[in-house]
Structure 1
Amino acid sequence: MIEERESTERIEELLTRNLKEIFGEADEKRRRAAIEELWAEDGVLYVPPGPVIGYEAINKVAGQLRAAHPNYVYTPNGKPQVLHNAGRLAWGSGPRDQAPAYSGWDVMIVRNGKIVALYVFLDETSEEFRRVKVKL
């Protein structure tokens, strides 16, 4: 089945807001509200430890990452790219105004204006991220 084309602007918004308001957010209530606004209820987050499904699990993983690096910020590297119902965004994370400690790509699939799948690809030099113990 061919997916309907999603709005380029909406996919760009989802990519940047997900980075800042979910993975960059320390406050659990604000992060959870953003997840419910941006993600489909059965959305799947694909991260190196394994797939994470649904609001609670995504909030838990994002909170663990935030707690492991409370002073890190996520910064987009370039502009989002969009193709039909998918988009990608390169990013780096580390202390503000310093070189990123780790970096990667988010590749997102969108349906009905919400994230249904997000694949997090880490750059080979991203050992810092891999050391964070995320419990699925």
Structure 2
Amino acid sequence: MSDIVRSYLDTWNATDTDARRTLLEAHWSPAVTYVDPMAEVCGHEGVEALVGGVQAQFPGFVFTPVGEPDAHHRQVRFQWGLGPEGAEPVVVGFDVLVLDEQDRIADVRGFLDRVPA
């Protein structure tokens, strides 16, 4: 499951639209649902718009894993950080990914643990 977490974070870090679309098509279900305290979107277009919005709000920041993922069956939970590369994360969150039968991300439930004022 570490591979799917890496692909998930790679999607959030992809600043090139074509690269992000390629990651979405390869690793995310076309019918994906995504919910966190700030957003609720579905499908590749919804996730792509959300990622672009976060990148615009936090230019130059990157998502990194925090700790090790915990997985069973077709689901994985993990903590992530968002901040300048190589620095302490400014934002920390916790996501749960549920995979479909093709091992693509079908459902994301996100939580924010630390958010700047």
TM-score if structure 2 supplies the norm length? 0.91
Instruction: Map 1:68-87 onto structure 2 (within 5 A).
Output: 68-87=57-76
> Are 1:109 and 2:110 matched, yes or no?
no
Secondary structure at the aligned position of 2:2 is classed as helix
Tell me the CA shift for residue 12 of structure 1.
2.3
Q: CA deviation at 1:89?
A: 1.2
1:90 paired with 2:74, answer no
Report if the CA contact (8 A) 1:25-1:66 is conserved.
Answer: no
Larger Rg: 1
Percent of aligned pairs sharing the same letter: 28
Unmatched runs of 5 consecutive residues or more in structure 2: none
- Aligned equivalent of 1:57: 46
Q: CA deviation at 1:49?
A: 2.9
In structure 2, C-alpha distance between the alignment counterparts of 1:44 and 1:105, rounded to whole Å: 16
- Is the 8 Å Cα contact of residues 26 and 70 (structure 1) preserved in structure 2? no
Q: Report the AA paired with residue 105 of structure 2.
A: I
**RMSD, aligned α-carbons:** 1.3
SS at match of 2:15: coil
Question: What is the rounded CA distance, in whole Å, between the counterparts of 1:70 and 1:50 in structure 2?
Answer: 19
The answer to whether residue 112 in structure 2 is matched with residue 122 in structure 1 is yes
Equivalent residue number for residue 66 of structure 1: 55
Partner of 1:15 in structure 2?
A: 5
Higher relative contact order (CA 8 A, sep 6+): 1
Gaps of 5+ in 1: 1-10, 129-136
Count of paired positions: 116
Query: Which contiguous aligned blocks of 4+ residues in structure 1 show a shift greater than 2 angstroms?
Result: none
Look up the match of 2:19.
30
CA contact (8 A) 1:26 1:67 kept: no
Q: Give 3-state SS (helix, strand or coil) of 2:110's partner.
A: strand
Correspondence for 1:42 among 31, 34, 59: 31
